[in-house]
Amino acid sequence: MDSDIDFMRYALGEAQQALEEGEVPVGAVLVVGGEVVASVHNARESTFDPTAHAEVLALRKAAQALRSWRLNNATLYVTKEPCPMCAGAMVNARLGRLVYGCGDPKGGAVESLYRILSDPRLNHQVEVISGVLGEESAALLKSFFRDRRGGAAFPRKL
C-alpha cells in the first residue's frame, strides 16, 4: 500500500466494521512514512464517549504509538469530512496532511461549513486532499442512515 486510494480503501474497511457494530460508518487510518500507525473507526455508541470519533481515536492511538503528540509527518485518511472537534484536534496535533472521502455539508469543518485546517489565524495549517473515494464513503453513510430510519426521511423538528 502506498497511494492515497489504497489507504482510503483501508479506512473504508474500518468504516464497514463500524457499520457492522452499529456505529456511524466512519473509518480512519493514520500513516507515517508509508506505514499504518493507527486504524480505527467511530466508537461513540459502544464507548458512550461523545469524543470517540474515528479521527480523535486515530490521533490518540498514533500519538501513543509514536510517543509524541506532534504528528507533523503523518497523513490521516478518513472517510468523511471531519467535524469542528476533530479538525481542532488535528491542528493541536500538528497533523501534516489530511485526506478525506466525502464532504459533510451539515457538519464539515474542513471545507463545507468551516475551514479550520487552513485558517491562517491558527498556529498550524494542515494540507488537505478531499474527494478520495468520496462516492464510496458517501454510499456507506447513506446506507447506514437509510437503514436507521427504515427507508423514510427523519421528521423535521420545529
Q: What is the DSSP track for 89-156?
A: HHHHTT--EEEEEE--TTT-TTTTS--GGG-TTSS---EEEE-TTHHHHHHHHHHHHHHHTTTSPPPP
102 is in an annotated binding site: no
CATH superfamily of this structure's domain 4-132: Cytidine Deaminase, domain 2 (3.40.140.10)
What pLDDT, on a 0 to 100 scale, did the predictor assign at position 2? 65
The predicted structure's pLDDT at residue 1: 59
- Express the helix, strand and coil content of the chain in percent, nearest 5 each: 40, 20, 40
The torsion region of residue 150 among left (phi > 0), alpha (psi -120 to 50) and beta comes to left
User: What does each C-alpha distance from 134 to 97, 102, 152 come to in angstroms?
Assistant: 17, 4, 24
Q: Establish whether 86 is an annotated binding residue.
A: yes
Q: Band of the pLDDT at 158, cuts 50, 70, 90?
A: very low
Convert the pLDDT of each residue in 2-48 to its tens digit: 699 999 999 999 999 999 999 999 999 999 999 999 999 999 999 99
Which comes out higher in pLDDT, residue 129 or 1? Answer: 129
Residue extents of the structural domains in the chain:
4-132
55 is catalytic: yes
53 is annotated as contributing to ligand binding: yes
pLDDT at 64: 99
